[in-house]
Amino acid sequence: MFGIFLLGGCTLLSEEKIKLRDLDFTVLGEEKIPEQLRDIIDEKKAQPFQITYTDNVNLYICIGYGEQETGGYSIAVNELYLTDTNIIVNASLLGPEASDRESPAPSCPYIVIKTEYLEQTVTFE
């Protein structure tokens, strides 16, 4: 009976990952981020963070990588898709070019992804 329970649990987890569709999104520049969200990011950006924010029209998914030693970092959105129960987001921090590493100024790279407002929970991978 114990083994059946585990098997059932594994099945449930795999069902959550079935992609229904990719989500359209826009990566926002700082000037396009809602002011209240920008204030929240400013408070959190020195440390790694993952937050969501909504204005009941759009969903904003924010990922920050904390303070880095130099500037020149970028962030790639690898996946953003909908499952039955979740919105899955996967992003990666990309290192600076060799010329950007020479800049001694630290940076706090983050990304704000704007997509349609959905009720599902956002899962960061």
Confidence of residue 98 (pLDDT cuts 50, 70, 90): confident
- What pTM was estimated for this model as a whole? 0.83
Encode pLDDT of 12-41 as tens digits: 444 447 999 999 999 999 999 999 999 999
Encode pLDDT of 44-74 as tens digits: 999 999 999 999 899 999 999 999 999 889 9
- Overall size of the chain counted in residues: 125
Residue among 123, 89, 114, 93 nearest 30 (CA):
114
Which helix (H) or strand (E) is 11 found in, with range?
helix 2-16
N- to C-terminal Cα distance for the chain? Answer: 32
Q: Tokens 């440390």 belong to which residue?
A: 47
